[in-house]
């Protein structure tokens, strides 16, 4: 049975927290339990506290995460529970919430939850892990659905307006040329344009020799968004003809995950977030994979905070560039492309011929298409 508080003053007291105690009066025993559960979560919000709104009463440490989950399921209705659990993960980063089987089976899949699962999957028992895998699969499916379209568009060939196409399909329809070619059929009285000859644009495809795309993914905890989108990007590129895609995750060790690149769910479940960072070692491994430098692109997704030898990292990137390979360093590869990275190291790599930036997955697809089709 959920909490029922008919008194509007007590409702305002729950909403505003301790600062409203004098104006709204005290709380019943049941309402105090609800207040403690709300304070456990929203008492973490320093901005609200500074404005005199709800601040920690019993404080975040008064309840353990399992206790909090059990408490809110006892006190609040379903829609409130779902909002509290969502805020716990998305606003306050309380990843332990997703290790609860009931929460995983009920909560709406999102990228925030996917990040939390990747952070905490090592804490999950087999039953919880199976539920988490379903959540991962659904979020990956949504990301892949969008990204696959962007990749296909990037690699579908450039539009050539000088040539007419016999392929009368919607994506090749040229509205402007069709309008110009049929203006003489405009009926001013009926205010209608009668189209006799629709015009379609030809698309030019350049068939190049196979390219090797080597994705080096920094799996330190701060790079989790980039890890997710890199895994999905690799799966999309894997499906393209004329391209061989390798995916390598690294911290202080290097793990080649190419065998799982066609299954981004399995790949993500094998990623181990956290630990140190030896970027030079990962670049050295990429060097060993390059057979034809002129047809190789190394995409290094990292924040460039080198825990190994900075000198060795610069030396290996320089060697790759001098061999004829293209090196692209991405400080972020996600939907927002807002990086936090070592600017000094990035500048050193640029001086040796690498290209450094931050991109959305769609922008990376366009960049790769430009390089392999150019």
Q: Which two tokens stand for residue 236?
A: 């999309």
Q: Which two tokens stand for residue 97?
A: 């919430």
The DSSP letter of residue 239 is: T
- Asked if 314 and 348 count as a contact pair (C-beta separation under 8 A), the reply is yes
Give the Cα separation of 350 and 311 in Å (integer). Answer: 14
Q: What is the pLDDT of residues 132-148, one digit of tens each?
A: 999 999 999 999 998 88
- Asked if 156 and 202 count as a contact pair (C-beta separation under 8 A), the reply is no
Could you report how far apart the first and last alpha carbons of the chain are, in Å? 65
For range 84-91, the mean pLDDT: 85
Q: What is the pLDDT of residues 95-134, one digit of tens each?
A: 877 888 888 888 888 888 888 888 888 888 899 999 999 9
Residue of higher predicted confidence among 360 and 26: 360
Kindly tell me if the per-residue pLDDT of 209 is higher than 60. Answer: yes
For the four alpha carbons of 244, 250, 255 and 257, in that order, the dihedral sign comes to negative
pLDDT, residue 118, reads: 87
pLDDT band at 27 (very low <50, low <70, confident <90, very high): low
Q: What is the pLDDT of residues 164-199, one digit of tens each?
A: 444 455 656 676 777 777 777 777 887 777 777 777
Q: How far is CA 333 from the centre of its chain?
A: 7
Q: Within 13 Å and on the Cβ side, how many CA atoms surround 71?
A: 20
**Kind and range of the H or E run holding 332:** strand 326-333
Q: Within 13 Å and on the Cβ side, how many CA atoms surround 342?
A: 17
- Asked if 336 and 112 count as a contact pair (C-beta separation under 8 A), the reply is no
Q: Which two tokens stand for residue 184?
A: 């003489």
- Residue 175 neighbours by CB distance under 10 Å: 9
pLDDT, residue 299, reads: 97
Q: Which string of b and e fits 302-330 if b means at least 16 CB within 10 Å?
A: bbbbbebebebbbebbbebbeeebbbbbb
Give the Cα separation of 319 and 321 in Å (integer). Answer: 5
Q: Within 13 Å and on the Cβ side, how many CA atoms surround 352?
A: 24
Q: How far is CA 83 from the centre of its chain?
A: 22
Residue of higher predicted confidence among 194 and 238: 238
Helix (H, G, I), strand (E, B) or coil at 315: helix
How long a stretch of residues is the chain?
A: 374
Q: How far is CA 73 from the centre of its chain?
A: 30
């Amino acid at each position: 049975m959920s909490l029922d508080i008919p008194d509007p003053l007590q409702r305002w007291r729950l909403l505003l927290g301790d600062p409203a105690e004098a104006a709204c009066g005290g709380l019943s025993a049941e309402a105090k339990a609800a207040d403690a559960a709300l304070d456990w979560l929203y008492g973490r919000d320093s901005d609200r506290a500074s404005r005199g709104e709800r601040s920690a009463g019993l404080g975040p440490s008064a309840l353990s995460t399992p206790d909090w989950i059990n408490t809110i399921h006892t006190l609040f209705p379903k829609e409130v529970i779902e909002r509290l659990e969502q805020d716990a993960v998305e606003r306050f980063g309380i990843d332990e919430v997703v290790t609860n089987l009931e929460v995983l089976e009920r909560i709406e899949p999102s990228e925030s939850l996917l990040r939390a699962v990747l952070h905490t999957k090592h804490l999950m028992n087999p039953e919880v892990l199976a539920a988490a895998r379903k959540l991962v699969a659904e979020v990956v499916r949504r990301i892949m659905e969008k990204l696959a379209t962007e990749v296909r568009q990037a690699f579908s060939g450039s539009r050539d307006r000088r040539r007419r196409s016999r392929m009368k399909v919607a994506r090749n329809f040229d509205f402007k040329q069709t309008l110009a070619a049929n203006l003489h059929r405009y009926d001013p009285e009926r205010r209608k344009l009668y189209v006799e000859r629709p015009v379609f644009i030809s698309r030019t495809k350049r068939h190049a020799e196979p390219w090797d795309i080597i994705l080096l993914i920094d799996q330190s905890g701060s790079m989790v968004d980039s890890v997710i989108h890199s895994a999905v990007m690799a799966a999309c590129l894997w499906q393209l003809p004329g391209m061989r895609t390798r995916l390598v995750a690294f911290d202080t060790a290097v793990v080649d995950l190419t065998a799982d690149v066609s299954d981004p769910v399995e790949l993500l479940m094998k990623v181990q977030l956290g630990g140190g960072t030896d970027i030079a070692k990962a670049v050295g491994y990429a060097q060993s994979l390059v057979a034809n430098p002129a047809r190789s692109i190394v995409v290094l997704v990292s924040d460039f905070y080198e825990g190994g030898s900075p000198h060795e990292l610069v030396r290996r990137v320089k060697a790759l560039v001098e061999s004829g390979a293209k090196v692209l360093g991405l400080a972020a590869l996600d939907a927002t492309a807002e990086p936090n990275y070592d600017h000094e190291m990035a500048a050193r790599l640029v001086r040796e011929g690498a290209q450094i930036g931050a991109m959305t997955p769609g922008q990376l697809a366009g960049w790769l298409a430009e390089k392999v089709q150019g």
